[in-house]
Amino acid sequence: SAVISQKPSRDICQRGTSLTIQCQVDSQVTMMFWYRQQPGQSLTLIATANQGSEATYESGFVIDKFPISRPNLTFSTLTVSNMSPEDSSIYLCSVVRHVGTDTQYFGPGTRLTVL
Amino acid sequence: GENVEQHPSTLSVQEGDSAVIKCTYSDSASNYFPWYKQELGKRPQLIIDIRSNVGEKKDQRIAVTLNKTAKHFSLHITETQPEDSAVYFCAATLSGGSNYKLTFGKGTLLTVNP
């Protein structure tokens, strides 16, 4: 498995502000992803965090709103910019440890409330 | 892209009964199908997965079946217990390489009544 931590675990923010969420893994992993899970809903992939290059965003998500960094193989950040109440969600990072393996492990999530 | 449909959205069973959750996928290239269990306020946890080169996989009380021709796969839980109560998500992807990304179903809320 993989030990994944996220900071903060939860936050309450004012609209118009930005929040950066950190994801730390206990060892190097090949793939890192960011998901959004709105209340009572399924998991929606925001983007694949690529080490040393720009993230790959899914349809409906843009870099200006959700800038992502991945400076190394164990760490990534997701920023939720210019927040509105519609951004209230749980944000989860996930990892795939090695090329050729498929198991995806999830972090504990960050519960964001925007007022 | 891939689309995954999951049914039912809610399922209530009596303790000891079996529970079955079904998913269909659209992309015939998908070859990896995991199932996740998410308890309230917790992260999704992988409980079982199956690859397209097998038709069935079992792990104690949990089994998954895959029909590639019909593009559907199912989760079977036998002898259900109250601690099985959670939301279950199916997912699909083409494994390996740059095309790997999980597409999730909408989830099934399973309630096991004592």
Q: Which tens digit of pLDDT belongs to each residue from B87-98?
A: 999 999 988 767
Query: Over the stretch A27-71, which tens digit does the pLDDT of each residue have?
Result: 998 899 999 999 999 999 999 998 888 999 999 999 999 999 999
Query: Over the stretch B49-95, which tens digit does the pLDDT of each residue have?
Result: 999 888 999 999 999 999 999 999 999 999 999 999 999 999 999 88
A5 interaction partners in chain B (CB closer than 8 Å) = none
Q: Is B31 on the interface with A (CB under 8 A)?
A: no
Residue A1 has pLDDT above 80, yes or no: no
Task: Return the closest-CA partner of residue A94 out of B85, B102, B87.
Answer: B102
Residue B113 confidence class, pLDDT cut points 50, 70, 90: very high
Residue A82 has pLDDT above 90, yes or no: yes
Q: Is A45 on the interface with B (CB under 8 A)?
A: yes
Cα angle vertex A66, ends B38, B44, to 5°?
10
Q: Choose from B2, B32, B40, B43 for mutation: most chain A CBs within 10 A.
A: B43
Please answer whether residues B57 and B50 qualify as being in contact, where contact means their C-beta atoms are separated by less than 8 angstroms: yes
* Nearest-angstrom CA–CA distance, A18 and B74: 41
